[in-house]
Amino acid sequence: MSVESTPPAAPSLDFIREIIAEDLASGACGGQVVTRFPPEPNGYLHLGHAKSICLNFGLAQEHAPHARCHLRFDDTNPTKEEVEYVESIQEDVRWLGFDWGTHLYYASDYFEKLYSFALQLIDKGLAYVDDQSAEEIRQGRGTLTSPGVASPYRDRSPSENRALFERMRAGEFKEGERVLRARIDMGSPNMNLRDPVLYRVLHAHHHRTGDAWCLYPMYDYAHPLSDALEGITHSLCTLEFEHHRPLYDWLIEHVDGLPSRPKQREFARLNLTYTLMSKRKLLRLVREGLVSGWNDPRMPTLSGIRRRGYPAAAVRQFCKAIGLTKYPSLTELNLLEHHVREELNRISRRVYAVLNPVRVVLTNYPEGQVEFLEIPNNPEDEGAGSRQVPLSRELFIEAEDFMQHPVPGFHRLVPGGEVRLKYAFCIICQEVITDANGAVVELRCTYDDATRRGAKPVGRPKVKGTIHWVSAAHALEVPVRLYDRLFTAEEPESAGEQEGDFTAALNPASLLEVSARIEPSIAEAAPAAHYQFERVGYFFTDPQDSRPGAPVFNRTVTLKEGFTIKPTAA
């Protein structure tokens, strides 16, 4: 017996998912959801692509088993594309956690079909070969406020066009001598409809088709037809293609014999504060050596953030959190960092590392004695187990954990004051030794055996601070790279407005290399492992530069900071 129950609160759908739900309900897409992620292999994928990947592959997962997502390389411009990029793109999509199964395609696979479709348009009088130069075509196109004028070649006969187009394919023309144009409307307020170029001659070697072609289709022509050939139901792209949609539809409408009629929809691209999301500009950072490469941990590329230690799950969560709209938003970096910390807090082993050491001598601790303390690996995760950490008479603590002249609110070590060494005992600073310049070089302290194991003897003032430490004799020295945001400006693209150069906003302190004193258990660290340096931040063993027994650490993100010493205003 079925009982009428209150309908479960429908999860709110974004506008794309709403459209898909409607299409599914009306049967407009044949009960299937087929999407595609169509990068051009001309660079590395970045966080903006992650948004698109999560959308397209996510949709396929949500509608399984009546759905799939294709990975298609939009390789119609051989002058910019390389196999290096097609390989990195596949690696990045997989890393993000998605799988295209057998559905790997290349627009270049369709060159022959696309060519025959062009012949068809020519025969219908819907396309013509234009002999004008690029400059003449540009002039003829008109401007945003004035209509274009027809090319003198616009009314060539289909047979003449066909013969010319065949000769273009045969290699009889130099680059720029002839193009194929759609015959639409030179007076259209939409520039894309003013007889857009469909094919151009390019005597270039293609990374897949080699020298088989010297005639290459334009994106606007190849994309809708490739979508149709693959049976894509929903072709999702970013807002700047909005004005291309009428052309997309025009081609689907006028080419006969297409197996499906895909629909293009547009959403806003991702913008993030303190970074760039333009392949062209990222390429410039790489080319000019402003970063170490596409996978520099400061880069917003997927290979960069992966090397920095951002977990794929955090990126997926972030993509879910930012939503999907047509509003050209600017998302705060700290939302991404929030998801990174949330994930890392769950999975990271804790470890003690001192980045900026000050020597502490425990004057009442027996010389030569070493003890091992059992310390949990992750208090958030019982199953993570524990480790033995050596403790001895001489230690290092963080220089920032001691203040000779403390400011109000400082809870850590001060002259004559007491602080807890985490998982060890409390110490009192008895003497401060400084060098000739007054810099603190050593703290002579006494420890209190009654405060072991977190004990708080009654009747004593409360110890507010707990700090991390390492045994001086046992600590390892490891290279640590402290990464910070690449740019100092929220919107680096508009920051260098005067000079018109985003490099003006580069953060000079985006990378600081230091040598850290770290507990010896770290010698076993695997490459590509996440750690939390307690009270400092999350760190990742660099997959490229770490060696067995000799890890190199990248700071993924700092811990959220509570107390900060405010610079005292004069």
**Residues that are catalytic:** 40, 269, 279
User: How buried is residue 316: exposed, middle or buried, by Cβ count under 10 Å (0-12/13-18/19+)?
Assistant: buried
- Tell me the window of 26-34, 118-126, 437-445, 527-535 that interacts with RNA (CB under 7 A): 527-535
Positive/negative CA dihedral, 11, 15, 16, 18: positive
Contact map string, positions 157 to 186, toward RNA, x by CB under 7 A: ------------------xxx-x-------
Q: Which of 233, 532, 546, 556 binds RNA (CB under 7 A)?
A: 532
Nearer to RNA, 160 or 490 (CB): 490
* C-alpha closest to that of 335 among 282, 271, 381, 269: 271
Residues recorded for the chain: 570
Q: Does 366 bind RNA (CB under 7 A)?
A: no
Among 412, 481, 517, 555, binds RNA (CB under 7 A): 412
DSSP structure string for 108-153 = GGGHHHHHHHHHHHHHTTSEEEE-S-HHHHHHHT--SSS-----TT
Smallest distance, RNA to C-beta of residue 338, A? 4
Q: Which of 124, 203, 205, 452 binds RNA (CB under 7 A)?
A: 452
* Residues between 316 and 355 with contacts to RNA, criterion CB under 7 A: 321-332, 334-335, 338, 341-342, 345, 350
Q: Which is nearer to RNA, 32 or 243 (CB)?
A: 243
| Binding status of residue 423 toward RNA by CB under 7 A | yes
Q: Does the protein bind RNA through residue 554 (CB under 7 A)?
A: no
Give residues 95-134 in contact with RNA (rule: CB under 7 A).
132-134
Contact segment (CB under 7 A) with RNA among 63-71, 218-226, 505-513, 522-530 equals: 218-226
Q: Which of positions 493-522 make contact with RNA (CB under 7 A)?
A: none
Q: Which span sits near RNA by CB under 7 A: 11-19, 63-71, 389-397, 515-523?
A: 11-19
Stretch in the footprint of RNA (CB under 7 A) among 20-28, 49-57, 192-200, 513-521:
192-200
Q: Which of 182, 534, 542, 551 touches RNA by CB under 7 A?
A: 534
Which residue of 89, 201, 236, 482 would you call a contact of RNA, by CB under 7 A?
A: 201
Burial 476-509 (b: 16+ CB within 10 A, else e): bebbbbbbbbbbbbbbbbebbeeeeebeebbbee
5 near RNA (CB under 7 A): no
CA distances (Å), origin 176, targets 133, 205, 214, 256: 6, 17, 12, 29
Considering only the stretches 90-98, 120-128, 196-204, 429-437, report the one whose residues sit in contact with RNA under the rule CB under 7 A.
Answer: 196-204
CB of 68 or CB of 422, closer to RNA: 422
Secondary structure (3-state) at 386 = strand
Nearer to RNA, 220 or 296 (CB): 220
Query: CB under 7 A: which stretch of 233-241, 281-289, 303-311, 432-440 binds RNA?
Result: 233-241
Shortest approach of RNA to residue 299 CB, angstroms? 20
Q: How far apart are CA 352 and CA 69, in angstroms?
A: 44
H or E element that contains 265: strand 263-267
| Minimum CB distance to RNA, residue 113 (Å) | 17
Q: Does 155 bind RNA (CB under 7 A)?
A: no
Which residue type, as a one-letter code, is found at position 155? Answer: D
Within 8 A by CB and 6+ apart from 22, the residues are: 28
Nearer to RNA, 292 or 333 (CB): 333
Nearer Cβ to RNA (168/511):
168
Q: Whole-angstrom Cα distance, residue 175 to residue 351? A: 61
Q: How far is the CB of 199 from RNA (least distance, A)?
A: 8
- Closer residue to RNA, CB minimum distance, 163 or 202: 202
By CB under 7 A, the residues from 23 to 42 that bind RNA are: 38, 40
DSSP state of 10: P
**Is the Cβ–Cβ distance between 53 and 98 less than 8 Å?**
yes
Residue 274 buriedness (CB in 10 A; 0-12 / 13-18 / 19+): buried
Give the separation between CA 422 and CA 354, rounded to whole angstroms. Answer: 13
Asked if residue 227 binds RNA (CB under 7 A), the reply is no
Q: Please report, for residues 403, 407, 422, 493, the alpha-carbon distance to residue 562 in angstroms, rounded to integers and kept in the order given.
A: 17, 15, 18, 31
Helix (H) or strand (E) holding 419: strand 418-421
C-alpha 256/C-alpha 252 separation (Å) is 8
Report if residue 150 touches RNA, rule: CB under 7 A: no
Based on CB atoms, which residue is closest to RNA, 295 or 466?
466
Q: Which residue number, 191 or 440, has a Cβ lying nearer to RNA?
A: 191
Q: Kindly state the number of chain residues that form the binding site for RNA, as judged by CB under 7 A.
A: 91
Residues 250-269 that bind RNA (CB under 7 A): 268
- Residue 361, token pair as written in the block: 């001598």
Q: How far is the CB of 327 from RNA (least distance, A)?
A: 4
Report the C-alpha gap between 235 and 252 in whole angstroms. 13
Member of 152, 171, 454, 548 binding RNA (CB under 7 A): 454
